[in-house]
Amino acid sequence: MSSLLAPLFQAITGAIAGFGYTGVAVAMALESACIPLPSEVILPFGGYLVSTGRLGFWGTVLAGTVGGTIGSIAAYFIGLWGGRPFLRKYGRYVFFSEKEFAVAEKWFNRYGEATVFFTRLMPIIRTFISLPAGIAAMPFGRFVVYTFLGSLPWSILLVYVGRQLGANWEALGPLFHRFDVVIAAGLVLLVFLYWRRHRSRR
């Protein structure tokens, strides 16, 4: 673990160890609200606590999914009410990256509302996709459903692997970053196949 990131990781794990499910939910809410907290640390550590018996598997998964959904809703309304002018003026105070937002916006404009579901497993885009969804005024009910269903497998995967790794859960973060490109490529293919199938039906 990098010495520069160690204090952040210690703060995250300390909050989760102290507050349990609430700590997992709050940390994931912040991550999904465009605050740069790595879910590759939050959820695997929750999985580690599952392996020790301090937390339950499905309770941790649900806390991560609900927290991620709540944070995404906050980002959605920032996009809906503030739009681009608000983000450009105040975004720097909440670690907003216009470059990363542009990537997420491009995906949303190209693939539509289904992007909110598919991109929850993708690096960078999963954090910022709620902003263009809000700016485009995507129907709120569909946004919440797509976000919850898209966040669920990510939570299951990371909590499960964290549980299996046990005390070695820290090894998961670098591993997932190493395979980010592979994960992204696979999901691009899935989105393309979905779009092609939908178009052929029309």
Supply the pLDDT for residue 58. Answer: 95
Supply the Cα-derived Rg of the chain in whole angstroms.
Answer: 17
* Under 8 Å between Cβ of 87 and 96: yes
Among residues 147, 174, 165, the alpha carbon closest in space to that of 46 is found at 165
Q: How far is the C-alpha of 149 from the C-alpha of 141, rounded, in Å?
A: 12
pLDDT in tens, 28-72: 998 888 776 777 778 888 888 998 889 999 999 999 999 999 999
Supply the pLDDT for residue 17. Answer: 84
pLDDT in tens, 140-156: 999 999 999 989 988 99
Helix (H, G, I), strand (E, B) or coil at 33: coil
Domain boundaries, the chain: 6-201
Q: How far is the C-alpha of 156 from the C-alpha of 15, rounded, in Å?
A: 20
Place of tokens 């539509």: 112
Structure tokens at 100: 């990363």
